[in-house]
Amino acid sequence: MQKAKLVDVARLAKVSNSTVSQYLNGRFDYMSKETQQRIRAAIKELDYTPNPTARNLKGKKTSMVGVIVRDITGFDTCRTIRGVDDFCRKHQYNAQIFSTDFDPDVEARALEALYQMRVDGIIIASSGKNNDLIADYIEKGMPVVHFQLEHDGSEKNLVLSDYRKAAFEATEYLIDLGHRRICFVTQTFENVKSRKERYSGYIDALAKHNVPFSSSLIQYWHRQTGFEQAPKALLQSDNPPTAFFTQHLAITTELLAHLNQEGIAIPDDVSLIGFDDIPMTDFFKVPVTVVKQEPYVIGKEAASLLLDIIENKDRHSQKLMISCSITKRQSCRAI
């Protein structure tokens, strides 16, 4: 059966196309109750579904926002999305979710799809590879709020964890336990400001407590290939680390698997503190100490900022920093 169109509703209700359009957009000021009833009956009889994109080509709000994340299954990402969705529903907005699987091309297609859908704004955990496209949409009037990552500092509206302070406090916690050889395990951070902030916090803590910096204690992990240097090899070196400080949940879980496979005990052989909480860590033989972010709060604040921009596109740009906390468990010991 062919899908009913607006013109079919107008014909059955015996009104003009513009009157049906006004009804669909909630403009009843000059419309009689009888006319409203006829349109409503025609819509029901024809099972007509309005096309939100077509209705809003001239700038009418869709009451939809787009959310682009890197991995929709991520432990913190799920909570961020819930924060966004809860805030949006409370304010009569719907959230359209896209997951890029860390692929910049998929991210670009998601941006283009949301722009074509005429969403009222976009919340994005960007790859940093589509800055020109995002800037173009902003120039065309699309409100955009970044969260989770800051890349080159060009992002105008952001909601982020206070990464530098959190990394400082985590490193200082290990130093207070007596650790001087703390291995900082990270992804490359030269072009990612948020990751560099964590590194800066680590360096700040070492400097405050007069702990010598060693470049050999900066170790890199890659999503596709894993650790550049095997953690076991590091622990068998002449001057091994006494603690690992991992900067991402995926790094922490891979490190745990590696240490377990090699029979390396936490915290007896090496201490561990990770960035981001771990699902069901309390059921681990040795629950892991973590830097805990507030993903739900980040989601709510990102949605709040976006809706503010939608209502007032001339407002000043804003960068919100959300505090983290350390959840102390059994994976770190004094030496």
CATH fold of 64-161+295-323, please?
A: Rossmann fold (3.40.50)
Does the domain at 6-50 match CATH 3.30.1130.10? Answer given as no
Residue 257 burial class via C-beta count within 10 angstroms: exposed 0-12, middle 13-18, buried 19 and up = exposed
Model pLDDT for residues 86-124, shown as the tens digit of each residue: 999 999 999 999 999 999 999 999 998 898 788 999 999
Closest listed residue to residue 127, CA positions, set 161, 160, 104 = 104
In 3-state terms, what secondary structure has residue 325?
Answer: strand
pLDDT in tens, the chain (335 residues): 578 889 999 999 999 998 988 777 667 667 888 998 899 889 888 878 766 555 454 456 889 999 999 999 998 999 999 999 999 999 999 999 999 999 999 999 999 889 878 899 999 999 999 999 999 999 989 999 999 999 988 899 999 999 999 999 999 999 999 999 999 999 998 789 999 999 999 999 999 999 999 999 999 999 999 999 999 999 999 999 999 999 999 999 999 999 999 999 999 999 999 999 988 877 788 999 999 999 999 999 999 999 999 998 778 899 999 999 999 999 999 99
Q: Is the dihedral of CA 275, 276, 277, 281 positive or negative?
A: negative
64-161+295-323 against 163-293: fold identical: yes
Q: Are 286 and 331 in contact (CB under 8 A)?
A: yes
Query: Can you give the residue ranges of every domain in the chain?
Result: 6-50, 64-161+295-323, 163-293
Q: Which residue has the tokens 């929709």?
A: 72
Q: Are 66 and 76 in contact (CB under 8 A)?
A: no
How many C-beta neighbours within 10 Å does residue 141 have? 8
In 3-state terms, what secondary structure has residue 66?
Answer: strand
- Taking CA atoms, 313 is separated from 120, 182, 298, 308, in Å, by 11, 46, 21, 8
Q: What pLDDT is recorded for position 124?
A: 98
Q: If you count them, how many residues does the chain have?
A: 335
| CA 169 – CA 279 distance, rounded (Å) | 22
Q: What pLDDT is recorded for position 52?
A: 56
Q: Are 154 and 131 in contact (CB under 8 A)?
A: yes
Q: Amino acid letter at 235?
A: L
| CA 296 – CA 222 distance, rounded (Å) | 27
Q: Which residues contact 166 (CB under 8 A, 6 or more apart)?
A: 198, 201, 275, 291, 293, 323, 324
DSSP conformation class of 3: P
What's this model's pTM, rounded to 2 decimal places? 0.80
Question: Would you list the DSSP string of 115-168?
Answer: HHTT-SEEEE---SS-HHHHHHHHHTT--EEEES---SS---SEEEE-HHHHHH
124's enclosing H/E stretch is strand 121-124
Q: What pLDDT is recorded for position 54?
A: 53
Assign domain 163-293 to a CATH class. Answer: alpha beta
Q: What pLDDT is recorded for position 1?
A: 56
